Amino acid sequence: MSKVYLALQDNDVSRYIVEAIEEDNPSASIQHMPAMIRIENEDRLVIRRETVEDKLGRDWDVQELHLNLITLGGNVDEDEDQLTLCWKG
């Protein structure tokens, strides 16, 4: 299987998004690069609004992800509560 990945700008908001992703995807690998955080996982990555809100301490719209997003790889399935990356084979 191939990996899905996500790269975020390294800033104060992304930090919490990354914490939330870590919590929801225990097997994901997080690579801190200069000014960028790259998150990879086999098959699936899920970002849940509730978890991010919990970490951020405020309301968070899933669309806000794009403010800090550099690139992603995988088929996107998103609604108001989550964004999932996976490869539909």
Partner 1 sequence: MTLEIKTAGIEPIRQTFANISRRFGEKPASRYQEATYDVQGEANFHYRPLWEQEKQLNDKSRTVIEMADWYSFRDPRQFYYGAYVQHRARMQEGAENNYAFFEKRDLAAKLSDELKACVTRFLLPLRHVEQTANLNHMFAADYGYGTALTQAQLFAGMDRLGMAQYLSRIGLLLDGNSAEALAQAKEYWMTDPAWQGLRALCEETLVTKDWFELFTAQSLVLDTLLHDVIYRQLDAWLVTNDGRDLGLLTEFMQECHKDLGRWSDSVFKVAANESEANRQQLLQWTEKWRGKAADALSPLVRDMLGDDALQEALIALDTRIAKAGISKK
Measured from the CB atom, is 12 or 79 closer to partner 1? 12
| C-alpha to C-alpha distance for 39 and 18, rounded to whole angstroms | 8
- Which residues, in sequence order, are CB contacts of 75 under 8 Å at separation 6+? 85, 86, 87, 88
> 22, 28, 40, 56: which one contacts partner 1 (CB under 8 A)?
56
Helices and strands: H and E segment counts in the chain: 3, 7
Interface with partner 1 includes 80 (CB under 8 A)?
Answer: no
Give the interface segment with partner 1, choosing from 11-19, 44-52, 61-69, 80-88 (CB under 8 A). 11-19
Binding footprint of partner 1 on the chain (CB under 8 A) = 7, 12, 15-16, 32-34, 36, 54, 56-58, 71, 73
